[in-house]
């Protein structure tokens, strides 16, 4: 779980008009900006060189840069978001990736794919098929990843109400450990891993983020914080209330490699 670089994007004023199912109210933009700045600072303190892209007002959800691409040290895959209103985000991300990656791939129609559905665990990728990522998109990505020696497994979450993306419900903490929403805890694909299962009432906190020697944990979820700490990890609590309001979590706010 070692990273050297990250890409983030500042939230635009239009962020308040983004897509959400959370029913938690509209984000407060001064607080959203402050929380984003603190997130960038946390990544920097963890040892990453962080590129902060300017806001893109035409795309309210573009602060969630993880959905626009999948990145490894030696290649990148430009996604094709499942929400029509987000498709243009990849147009803006392409030149950013072109500056950093010589080898690039792109998900093509009829495939759709959000980066939030892609969970890397060691040399294995779990590819979520969801309301945003379709089987064609997942298969295209599996083909690209296999060229670089990764194995892949597709996990269909379309029947799981309340789970938007695969990484809303499962995230790797490294050291063969997964943090899981209880609704995915018994999936056979995860049986060989050490499983930390968050309480259902703290399901949002399944989206913690391991960054080098620390684990970023959303504020306000004490049982998850204790779970991570007791398992031997070093948690750093982050306030992300204004991103929770828009269905976003800690992993959504950066691309890391």
The predicted model scores a pTM of 0.97
All domains of the chain in start order, with CATH: 5-256 (3.75.10.10)
- Tens of pLDDT along 128-166? 999 999 999 999 999 999 999 999 999 999 999 999 999
In the 8-state DSSP scheme, what is residue 80?
Answer: B
> Closest Cα to residue 169, out of 155, 181, 161, 177?
181
Confidence of residue 205 (pLDDT cuts 50, 70, 90): very high
Give the span between the Cα atoms of 63 and 12, in whole angstroms. 8
Which residues are known to be catalytic?
Answer: 165, 252
Dihedral, CA of residue 16, residue 19, residue 22 and residue 25, to nearest 10 = 20
- Per DSSP, what are the bridge partners of residue 105? 77
- Tens of pLDDT along 31-45? 999 999 999 999 999
């Amino acid at each position: 779980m070692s990273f050297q670089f990250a890409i983030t994007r500042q939230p635009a004023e239009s962020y308040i008009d983004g897509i959400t199912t959370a029913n938690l109210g509209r984000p407060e933009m001064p607080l959203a900006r402050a929380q984003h700045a603190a997130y960038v600072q946390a990544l920097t303190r963890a040892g990453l060189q962080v590129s902060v892209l300017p806001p893109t007002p035409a795309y309210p959800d573009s602060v969630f840069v993880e959905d626009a691409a999948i990145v490894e040290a030696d290649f990148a895959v430009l996604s094709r978001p499942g929400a029509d209103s987000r498709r243009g985000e990849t147009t803006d991300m392409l030149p950013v990736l072109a500056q950093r990656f010589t080898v690039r791939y792109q998900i093509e129609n009829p495939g759709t794919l959000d980066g939030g559905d892609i969970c890397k665990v060691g040399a294995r990728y779990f590819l979520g098929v969801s309301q945003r990522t379709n089987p064609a998109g997942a298969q295209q990505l599996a083909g690209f990843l296999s060229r670089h020696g990764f194995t892949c497994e597709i996990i269909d979450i379309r029947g799981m109400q309340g789970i938007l993306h695969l990484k809303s419900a499962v995230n790797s903490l490294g050291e063969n450990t997964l943090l899981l929403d209880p609704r995915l805890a018994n999936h056979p694909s995860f049986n060989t891993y050490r499983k930390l299962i968050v309480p259902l009432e703290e399901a949002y906190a399944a989206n913690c983020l391991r960054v080098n020697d620390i684990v970023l944990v959303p504020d306000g979820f004490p049982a998850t914080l204790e779970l991570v700490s007791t398992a031997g990890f070093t948690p750093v609590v982050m306030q992300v209330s204004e991103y929770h309001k828009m269905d976003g979590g800690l992993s959504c706010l950066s691309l890391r490699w």
